[in-house]
């Protein structure tokens, strides 16, 4: 779609993830790499990259939890330049994955100050569903049920 590729993700894709501050928020510690590797290997994870340059636009995945799936996103440096095509491709891929797994609820946990995270969750069809304490602190919960 519009010069983008969709492929299964690898933990190494997180090396290209950009943090909220615009700097690389990827893998900095062995513990981080282990967590990302587990999310990719034990769940479903996809990578959207620019076809020509290979620059990362987005990593999206679903982590299995008891009674629901936790969806997570990692923005790459190409996301800003390719925002709408990337989100369309990833949203379609997520819908295809969920068509196979339904019925199921997906939840995503967003830092309460992350306006971009809340917008991204909303764009994927998630609705605000309160807050929850997590190991990283209080998080806004967004939910979507796939019939």
Q: Does 53 score more than 80 pLDDT?
A: yes
State the pLDDT at residue 81: 92
pLDDT at 51 over 90: yes
- 107-145 pLDDT, tens digit each: 999 988 888 889 999 999 999 999 999 877 899 999 999
Give this prediction's pTM.
0.83
| 89-100 pLDDT per residue, tens | 999 999 998 988
The count of structural domains within the chain is 1
CA 75 to chain centroid: 8
Domain that holds residue 62: 4-146
Q: Determine the Cα–Cα distance for residues 66 and 141; give it in Å rounded to an integer.
A: 16
pLDDT band at 26 (very low <50, low <70, confident <90, very high): low
CATH number at 35 reads 3.40.630.30
Structure confidence at residue 16 (pLDDT): 77
């Amino acid at each position: 779609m519009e010069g983008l590729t969709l492929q299964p993700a690898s933990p190494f894709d997180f090396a290209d993830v950009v943090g909220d501050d615009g700097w690389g928020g990827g893998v900095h510690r062995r513990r981080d790499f282990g967590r990302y590797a587990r999310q990719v290997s034990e769940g479903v994870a996809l990578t959207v990259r620019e076809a020509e340059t290979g620059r990362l636009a987005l990593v999206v995945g679903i982590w299995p939890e008891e009674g629901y799936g936790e969806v997570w996103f990692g923005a790459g440096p190409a996301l800003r330049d390719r925002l709408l095509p990337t989100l369309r491709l990833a949203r379609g891929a997520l819908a295809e994955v969920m068509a196979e797994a339904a019925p199921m609820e997906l939840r995503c946990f967003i830092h309460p100050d992350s306006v971009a995270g809340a917008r991204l969750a909303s764009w994927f069809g998630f609705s605000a569903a309160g807050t929850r304490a997590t190991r990283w602190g209080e998080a806004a919960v967004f939910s979507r049920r796939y019939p």
